[in-house]
Every structure is written in structure tokens, then in C-alpha cells.
Structure 1
């Protein structure tokens, strides 16, 4: 997980290899100071300029690193001073918990029970039974399991083979969120990949965890679900006026968010014992996400 306390946006007007004008933008991050972030951004910009003038394709960063260019609100540490998690604000304004070793799993309803194509139903049931069901139901038969049934089935199957595991299960607006409580797991490790696959984790979420080398859990509603709009400006802010506009947006967003919850807690599953580090992250998560209000 790569996060910075400070970010800076830098730009440069230059030329491409064919002499055409080009406006370059770069972003630099630092934990030291805004000036250090500005200097880092300039270095990235010079590297991008060199690639541009050499006729090479442009990437946002000159290395394989993909730092989270999000406003950092808080870092959380364990009793030994090790970083447990960090809270950032993402591009559309929601607060997000980033955890390098405390495993969160996002599972969508659609991923749990994808609708079968007519050809798949016909192959499954046989032509005669499929034709009869089509005539009775006016279309393709429904999926075999509901999302709650499918989630319970997958969770039970995993725990049957891994009795020492412990999950906390949550219902979200469009699916489920699971939190692994009994141990810490890096997102690129084989165990994490196995549980992602077994529980049907959202593939986009899995890729994000691998790219950022951390798990992510949204702590506040998506603004369009609570009748609000995205932030008026993008982070990092170029002027004091942009920062003030963002602050005003956040105040309105926070006020509207009070009427909603992100998750509904469904309980703990498995016989494992919660490890202190995962429990600390769970406490922060639950305080922000639960509340018995409409989900958003």
C-alpha cells in the first residue's frame, strides 16, 4: 500500500516527437512536505516529457507503482507502531478504509447468481423440459439460488474445509462484504487468491486489491445514492478556492450521509479467534458503516 500525506499537480507545455504541441500533467506525492510532493511531480513530468519526445507511449507513472492519489485523512497503527490501515477520500468523494493485511472481500449479487443464457438452461435441463418451462414461465427459468442462499452456501463450503477461519459478514446495497478476523493476509498471497475465488469476489475489486497491494472498504455512501453529486474539483487541489469548494461539498455530503448506512451486519461465522489487529480495523469499519439506516 502506497499512500502519501501530500500530493501536488504539476503541468508543462512541450512538444511531441513530431513537433506538435502537447500539455503534460503529472502528480507527485510525498510524506515530507508539499514542496517535496511538488519536486516529485516535476521529476515524473520530466520523465514523461522524455518519453513523449522519444515517441514512446505515456504512462501516468514511470514505474510499475500505482500510488493512491487520494486525500489522506487518517493512518491507523497497531500497538507495535505498524501501519494497520488508512482512511482516504476517493475520486467520487466517499471515505475509504485501506488495509494492507486485514482482508475485506466484496461479493456482488450478480456475481453470486449470474443469469444463465437460454442455451445454458437448455443444456442443463434438456430440450423437452426447457421448452415446457419456457411455455409455463414465458421465458428462461429463474436462477437456481437467491443471492443469500448462494452466499450462505459458499461461506459454509469454505468453513467446512477451513474450520479455524472466522469471517464477519455484512449485507451491502448490491451484495455482500466479508471481513477476515482470525489472521492477517497479504492481498497477493495464495490464501487470499483462494478465498477470493471460492467466495465469488468481484473481479474488479480483486484486481484493485492486487494493483494497490491493499484491501479497500468504502466507509460512506456513494453520493449519487443519497441525492448528491460528485465533488466539484479533483484532488489534489490547485488553488485555495478549489480546496474551499471541496470543503463545502464535504460538509453537505457528511450531513446527507447521516441518514444512511453502508452495511448491515449479519454476524460472525467460523470458530476461529479474532486477532487483535484485524479486530481493531473491524471496530473502525463498523463504527463508520453500521447504524441500521437505509443502505447506500
Structure 2
């Protein structure tokens, strides 16, 4: 996992090779201290300034494997004192569980729906039907796929996987616009071969897969998206430059927490497979379910 305890925003008034002024900004993290994060930022900016003066292109701000700039809320350890997860607050204010090796999968309704549409049988080509449709009003769109059909498709995929891998165990949750799977029987690295196979078999969201691989952890949102509960995103980007900004963020979080109480993030559909849980998975399952379930409107 790429999680830092301290983040700093560092700026530098610089010039490019032509003498034109330019403002450089760096976001850097450290587990040692805020001062260490700031020192790392100054080093980054000095390196960028040197490249500018040498007329080298800086390119885009680092992405991909760059750590996510999120406020650390809590680190989670197993009974042996090993770090297994961390809670962070993402850019729009929701609390996210970052699990080192306990696997979560994010499956969108859209991907399941498209898969079902592709599976529908097609009629053989007919020249008569082609001309009839060519000069007739546009046909109505196909009927929408009911949510239950999407769930049944995912359950069939689970059943097929378990036929070949009976030792596996899944917990299946319904989210606002899809499903969440939690693998409990073993620990898996996001870049492992097994992880790639199950990502593909369950039609896991491609953006989510790339994020897990680049950050070397799985992510599960534990609190609602603010716009789904009638609230706005935080007004101050993290990290905060002044005590006033930090205070504004704290006020935002207080109101956000109060509004979130009327909503749930997901609901449990069922458990499938061997029933086995590693100690790490059991710990994170209890934390996840306490935060996400509740039988309220999904957000």
C-alpha cells in the first residue's frame, strides 16, 4: 500500500529557459513528519526547476503508481502487529478502506448489462427485413435489463468459478450501481495471476482494477458519496495550507457524517463457497459490514 501519514503542498516561483515566470507545485508524502514531507517537496521542485532551466519538458504530473493524496484516518493491524489495511478520506470526502491483501472487487451494473446484451441471440440476416427497417421509423430500444437479472448473472459467474475452485469463498454485496465482492478464504496480491483471473471472470470494473494494481491494494468505499445524500464535495483540497482550511474541512465532515447516518453504502446479498475466512478477512469483514450495512437507502 502507498499510504502516508503526512502530506505537504510545496510551491516554488521559478523560471523556464526563456526567463518566463512559472509557479511549480509539488505534493509529497512522508511517514516521518510533516517537515520531512515538506523537505521532499522542496527537493522535487528543485529538480523540476533544474529541468526547466535546461529546457527539458516536465511532462504530466506523475500518475499511475504515484500514491493517492488522501488524508490518513486510521491504520489497521492484525493480532501480530502487521499492517493489513488503512482508512483514508478520498478527494470527494468519503472514507475508503485500503486493504493490502484482502481482496475486494467492484462490479458495475453497466458491465453486467453489456455482457447480457452481447449474450442475447441475434436473428439471421434478412434482406427483406433490412429494407423494411431502413424505411420504417426507428425501432424502440431493447427493454432494459432488470436488476435481478444482473444479480443472477453475477451469481452464475460465482457458481461457475466455484465449480473449478471449491476452496474459494465470496461475500456478495449490492451497491447503488453495482456489486461488491469480498474474497475471504485467502490473501491475494492485486498483481497476482489469480487476481487477474478473478478480475476478468467477475467483470470487475477496469478502472478499479488498474487502481488496485498501481496502488498495490484493494479499495472499498465505506461512506456515501456526498452528492447522493444531498451534500457537496469538500471545499478545501487536501493537504490543507492553513488552520482555517483544516477547520472548514472539519465542519464539512461533521455535517457529512450527520447526513450519512440516513444511508447505507451496500447490502449483503449472500455468501458463496467454502465459508472459510482468514483472520485478516474476518477482521476487515466486521469493520466493513459495521460501516456499510444498515438496511437504509443505498448511496
Specify the alignment match of 2:282 in structure 1.
279
Q: 1:153 aligns with which of 144, 152, 156?
A: 156
Specify the alignment match of 2:59 in structure 1.
58
Offset of residue 42 of structure 1: 1.1
**Mapped partners of 2:241, 2:296: distance in 1:** 37
CA RMSD of aligned residues (A): 2.6
- CA 295–193 in structure 1, closer or farther in 2 if over 3 Å, else same: same
Deviations 1:72-112 (A, max 9, x none): 00000011111110000000000000011010000000001
**Mapped partners of 1:106, 1:289: distance in 2:** 15
TM-score of the two chains, using structure 1 as the length reference: 0.91
Specify the alignment match of 2:201 in structure 1.
198
Task: Please say if 1:39 is aligned against 2:52.
Answer: no
Task: Please say if 1:236 is aligned against 2:239.
Answer: yes
- CA 160–72 in structure 1, closer or farther in 2 if over 3 Å, else same: same
Indicate if the aligned counterparts of 1:48 and 1:58 stay in contact, CA closer than 8 A. no
Offset of residue 59 of structure 1: 4.2
Specify the alignment match of 2:165 in structure 1.
162
Deviations 1:129-154 (A, max 9, x none): 9959x89x943544778211211121
TM-score of the two chains, using structure 2 as the length reference: 0.90
Indicate if the aligned counterparts of 2:64 and 2:214 stay in contact, CA closer than 8 A. no
Specify the alignment match of 2:261 in structure 1.
258
1:94-133 superposed matches below 5 A: 94-114=94-114, 124-128=122-126
**Mapped partners of 2:85, 2:128: distance in 1:** 51
Matched positions, count: 291
Unaligned runs of 5+ in 2: none
Unaligned runs of 5+ in 1: none
SS in 2 for 1:184: coil
